[in-house]
Amino acid sequence: MVTQHGIKYAVHLITTHFGDLVAKVCECLLRKGPSTLQAIVRFTELTSSQVKNSLLVLIQHNCVQAFILEQPGSHGDGAKLNTHYIALFDNIIHRWRFPKFLTIVSQKLDKQCVALIEALLLHGRLTLKQMSDRAKSAQNEGDDAILDAVREAFIKLLNAHFVERCPAAEPVLTKPTEAETSTRKRGPKSAKILEEKETLEQRVLEAAAPSEALRFLLVTQTEPGADGGKDENNSSSMTVGEKRKLDALESDTEGGATDEQVVLWRANFEEYIRRLRHKAFIENVRACLDDGAVIVISAMLEATRTAEKKVKTENSGPLSLNSIYEEVIKSEEGRNITFDRVRASLVQLSCPPFVKAVNELYSIDFKKIIELAQNDEVESIVLKRYGRDAYRMFRLLSNTGRLLETDKIADTAFVEKKDTPKILYKLWKDDYLHMEKLQLTGARQSQFLLWKVNKNTLWEHVLDEMFHAALNLSLRVAHELEQEKELLNLPQDKRVNRLRKVRLLLESSQMKLDDAIMLFHDF
């Protein structure tokens, strides 16, 4: 979900990184939705050249995707093809998470891999040759040695799915006809279907994405052998159809250039968010259970990671007890755990229901872990902002999930009846509660107030507040940097100490706030 303060925060990030001109074009796409070049020029009142250059910057840094919308012509005319541009909100927000992405790579791979990812995050999209040229300019070793080191590191990144091929420049989408649209609406359970129906952004991204086999494939061409064949690697298998696509791609390269010289690569944000999601799962389990349970769920996540086709997966793949134990003993700390201890930890993980067991196969309930974490986050906000009485009443309504009358809430939550309406009204006024009035007629008319927590609307409201806080925090950081000029007159040690304290505090707050944003938006 994209909220109003989310848009403001995204525009602020683009302004900080690329300036006002590019940010104006980005804001137009975020607020107006997919637009043609002519529409963007009209809305922003910029010149066509300025808009084109801004779009090229945003595309280079994976913040905008171009696509061609095919619309049927009128009066027997041919189909109309118009190029549209759509802003990728999630990719824009990910720009703040680049330090987290670099940390993930540094924990798994070597410094050369970190340097390549840093270059991709800085420049958005690069060919392998461009990455090699950057490495040559930074080192004094021989060209062949550098090229081999870069290729070796790059293959490690590909195997870990930390990098991927860039999507198609302008995929073609067909606009649904009126008949198709009306059929969808008349179908059974239409409300649920429409909720789950792919958004235009999802359709564009799906159309632009390369196939899974090509997505993480590095093709190298060596001198033809006796059979005239080519050496193609790395470790991905391809179908016949995918080989044909690859051959067509290679035949289109100019001047006999190899595939690796012309293919653009970028950081695979999806993989980083998946790993951050798994890290959040582990931390939530750590807060509730012992180290044994943490080791077991970490092993289950590692064993099923490659089977996840999308980030927001509700359940992990099923694993047998033997498979889980086999994964557990791969880690140093897991070798201290016995088979019975793993079985006991799985029992622990089933209550709260972090893990589900069906026919002696165990799977992680991602959806339940996220729901519990979201509940805890909102309840902590209510506790800090409104006090313990409000916290008890909010928690009661959240767990009940239905309308409750004012006096019933006061009795169950052990809150003074004279204070209850005032606290509930405050929560309702700030959009944390839903209220309904019940009018009873009879000998004496009376009115009751009923209260409940509507999580769908509340979660969106909380996320918008978080984006608002993130925007304010970023502006505060910018303000502190401006204030540095005033500190130049102070003694050096005092100036450095003050700057260090402010920087550490603000960076820590930003990281924690971003963790909460990911919980409601990305996970």
- Spatial separation of the C-alpha atoms in residues 246 and 195, rounded to whole Å: 37
| 176 has pLDDT over 90 | no
Q: Which range has the worst mean pLDDT, 32-46, 175-189, 448-462?
A: 175-189
pLDDT in tens, 334-348: 999 999 999 999 999
For the chain, the first-to-last Cα distance in angstroms comes to: 12
Q: Which of 174-178, 210-214, 220-224, 466-470 has the highest mean pLDDT?
A: 466-470
Q: Does position 372 have pLDDT exceeding 60, yes or no?
A: yes
Phi and psi at residue 167, to the nearest 5°:
-70, 170
> Is pLDDT above 90 for 167?
yes
Quote helix, strand, coil % in the chain, to nearest 5. Answer: 65, 10, 25
Would the pLDDT of 199 be above 50?
yes
pLDDT at residue number 40:
97
> Is the four-CA dihedral 279, 284, 287, 289 of positive or negative sign?
negative
Largest CA distance in the chain: 102
For 423-428, what is the mean pLDDT?
96
Helix H, strand E, coil C: the string for 215-226 is HCCCCCCCCCCC
- Per this entry, what is the length of the chain? 523
Kindly report the backbone phi and psi dihedral angles of residue 265, in degrees, each rounded to the nearest multiple of 5, phi listed first: -120, 155
Q: Residue 507 — pLDDT band, cuts 50, 70, 90?
A: confident
Highest mean pLDDT out of 205-214, 461-470, 485-494: 461-470
**pLDDT > 70 in the chain, percent:** 82
Q: Model confidence over 381-390: pLDDT tens digits?
A: 999 999 999 9
**Pair type for strands 64-71 and 172-174:** parallel
Sign of CA dihedral 45, 47, 50, 51: positive
* Mean pLDDT value of segment 483-503: 68
Q: In the predicted model, what is the mean pLDDT of the chain?
A: 86
pLDDT digits (tens, 9 = 90+) for 99-123: 999 999 999 999 999 999 999 999 9
* Model confidence at 311: pLDDT above 80: yes
Instruction: For 342, list phi and psi in degrees, rounded to 5.
Output: -65, -40
Averaged pLDDT, 368-379 = 95
* Residues of the chain above pLDDT 90, percent: 68
Nearest C-alpha neighbor of 474 from the set 11, 21, 90: 11
Which DSSP string corresponds to 358-401? ETTEEEEBHHHHHHHHHHHHHHHHHHHHH-HHHHHHHHHHHHH-
What is the reported pLDDT for 235? 44
* pTM of this structure: 0.86
The pLDDT confidence band at residue 482, using thresholds 50, 70 and 90, is confident
Residue 146 pLDDT = 84
Alpha carbon 339 to chain centroid, angstroms: 36
